[in-house]
Amino acid sequence: MNPPPDQIAFLLACDRLKAVQRTTFLHDGSRAENSAEHSWHLALMALTLAEHAPIGMDLNRVIRLLLVHDLVEIHAGDLHFDAPDADHAAQAQAEERAAHALYGLLPDDQQADFHALRSEFEARLTPEARFARALDALQPMLLTWGEGGLGCTGRAPELTASRVLRLKESALRDFPALWTLAQEIVSGAVRAGTLPP
């Protein structure tokens, strides 16, 4: 039996995630990362760093959360983590509308599943969602300021080491190894001159 046309329509619509440019650049600084690359990289991070997740955590669920959470950027676009609160509020509304438009292409049971995954990610109430959010906070840091990273000079001049850590701490502090890694990334960037203290 062939997949229903609504599932195929959804998959084709999701191909547009590859065209959504993020504010984060690739590690080599050559171009902006796209949202599909970001989602793939996060899923790979979950597999690679699973030993730093809470005991008993469902890794499959983490990967599902990571693969679904940014699909809404097809309609809503990406927003820099350091944007003003009003911009984040407007983005949340745009993403909610985007979720209904995009997931609405799916059969009813899958619509409900995708909405539930997105809501779980946003609410951060489960260990899986908190780990997924921590990875989502860490990944841009790794690309931008990780060993050999070029920083974001000229793209986000207001960012400083202390500001980055303050903005990322709430997502990372519950995972000591990831929080330590984030602090080491920032310290290394300050030493390399790619991030002001």
pLDDT tens for each residue of 52-105: 998 999 999 999 999 999 999 998 877 666 666 787 777 778 888 989 999 999
- Reading the block at residue 88, the tokens are 């984040």
Residue 149: the pLDDT is 83
Confidence label for 170 from pLDDT (cuts 50, 70 and 90): very high
Q: How far is CA 64 from CA 60, 115, 173, in A?
A: 6, 12, 23
| Average pLDDT score over residue span 166-188 | 95
Residue 36: the pLDDT is 96
pLDDT tens for each residue of 112-166: 999 999 999 999 999 999 999 999 999 999 999 999 887 876 565 678 899 999 9
- Smallest Cα–Cα separation from 57: which of 126, 133, 134, 113? 126
Residue 156: the pLDDT is 58
Per-residue HEC secondary structure of the chain comes to CCCCHHHHHHHHHHHHHHHCEEEEECCCCCCEEEHHHHHHHHHHHHHHCHHHCCCCCCHHHHHHHHHHCCCCHHHHCCCCCCCCHHHHHHHHHHHHHHHHHHHCCCCHHHHHHHHHHHHHHHHCCCHHHHHHHHHHHHHHHHHHHCCCCCCCCCCCCCCCHHHHHHHHHHHHCCCHHHHHHHHHHHHHHHHHCCCCC
Task: Determine contact, residues 195/159, Cβ cutoff 8 Å.
Answer: yes
Confidence label for 4 from pLDDT (cuts 50, 70 and 90): confident
pLDDT tens for each residue of 21-30: 998 999 998 9
Helices 85-103 and 108-123 cross at an angle (nearest 10°) of 160
pTM: 0.92
Query: What CATH homologous superfamily does 5-192 map to?
Result: Hypothetical protein af1432 (1.10.3210.10)
Domain extents in the chain:
5-192
| Average pLDDT score over residue span 4-18 | 94
